[in-house]
Amino acid sequence: MNITSVKARTILDSRASWTVEADVTLEGGFFGRASVPYGKSRGKYEAKYLPAADAVTNINTKIRKALVGSDGSDVESIHNRLVALDQTPDKHNLGANAFLSVEVAAAKAAAAAEGLELYEYLGGYLGNKKYELPVPLVDLLMGGLHRVQGEDRMEKVADNFQNTQITFEKAKSFREATTLGRDVYLALSKITLSRFGPDRHKTGEDGGFACFEGCRGLLDTAEEAIEAAGLNLKDVGIVVDAAASHWKVHGGYTVDGKILTTGELVDFYVELTNDYFMKGFEDPFDQDDVEGSAELTRKIGDKALIIGDDLTATNVGRLTMLKEKGALNSLLIKLNQAGSLWDGILTTRFALKNGIVPIPSHRSGETDETFASDLAVACPNIHPTFRVHQKIGAPAKGERVAKYNRLLRIEEKLLGQ
Ligand code: PGA
Ligand code: ZN
């Protein structure tokens, strides 16, 4: 089915920054629209974007000319046409944000043309027909670069975990996990208000409460909220995003007022795993400290997710290297790190084939786009211990809530309600 129109514009994201939104229409009027998120805690291996206005100009001129009148039903062939037009290894002529928005919008239009839900269309690319809801990573507390909302990086060196999240792997449904997550979030709101006072009672980038305590302080506060919500600590897993590339100082990592070597940081995480119900560590070391990540995976990878984010950058070449070194058992799938939907699909396929758990993820700068929720439902559960998760943020703030709500609706449909 041929593409009849391609059109883009800039729209606002959750940080009041402009980002790209693209529309693609196919013959018969089948329509798809997609917008692009943007990270603040970005890794150095991510695809490079153009300023949103430049990417929009490229879509409305060169890309429109190249795609209108050609087949719009297959992600790979659209991607190959964009690659041929761009002619650079890092997509810098057209912009990775132009690639991503057009490929995702086209995928939505193609799914509509085939009469499929988006997760079914994506499941076709991932060899999956058994759709299950992901386990949500519910964000409670924001530290590091995410503590303060806004485009500027206020802190040069972060001093605690960027995200402290909870997970309910034993919940019987996505709705139940969301309900429990929300209960803890609301209990936490009261605790942080009384602890930090109204002036410091703020939410950070992803809707979690800004926290000024050290790493152990974050975990203690999370536990307090879990208990205040009437839950048993052992029924709630804790997953942190250390974003440790931002902790790096000369000679080691700054953690809770001390400077630790890689080996000492491994020991610190093992201690935390003994002291709390830890279920995962994202970017526990600097993005180039592959050895640290491998050592931690050897020590606790059977009971906790060791998740790559800046480490992996949704890049299949990086993932291949990291898998060979045994440096992780899971990774975030952020399509805008990969720079295109097709590159993201290739990375996800590699992960699934190699027993690495994919976690489709939002970014700190978000729109109401819900594509990652469909992608999470499209990913099969391939690991004997760990289910597919989705990193969504707090169950509050419109741009995060849009993703939870998309999953609530998908679950209703899958249950035939
Ligand atoms: P970012 O952070 O979207 O600001 O890069 C999110 C994360 O580190 O997972
Ligand atoms: Zn991260």
pLDDT digits (tens, 9 = 90+) for 239-283: 999 999 988 888 899 888 899 999 999 999 999 999 999 999 999
Q: How far apart are CA 338 and CA 344, in angstroms?
A: 6
As a three-state string, the secondary structure of 215-239 is HHHHHHHHHHHHHHCCCCHHHCEEE
> Among 3.30.390.10, 3.90.1650.10, 3.40.605.10, 3.30.360.10, what is the CATH number of 3-115?
3.30.390.10
CATH code reported for the domain at 125-414: 3.20.20.120
- Residues less than 5 Å from ion ligand 2, measured at CB: 241, 243, 309
Contacts of 198 (CB under 8 A, 6+ apart): none
Q: Which residues line ligand 1 (CB under 6 A)?
A: 39-42, 162, 241, 243, 309, 361, 363-364
pLDDT digits (tens, 9 = 90+) for 352-411: 999 999 999 999 999 999 999 999 999 999 999 999 999 999 999 999 999 999 999 999
User: How much is the pLDDT for 157?
Assistant: 61
**Ligand 1: which atom is nearest the Cα of residue 283?**
8
- pLDDT range class, residue 153, cuts 50, 70, 90: low
Residue nearest to atom 8 of ligand 1 (CA): 41
- The neighbouring-strand residues paired with 167 are 237
pLDDT digits (tens, 9 = 90+) for 175-218: 999 999 999 999 999 999 998 888 888 898 899 999 888 999 99
Which 8-state DSSP code applies to residue 393?
E
Q: Is the pLDDT of residue 104 over 80?
A: yes
Domain extents in the chain: 3-115, 125-414
Residue in 241, 276, 244, 275 with CA at minimum distance from that of residue 259: 244
Å from CA of 152 to ligand 2 middle: 17
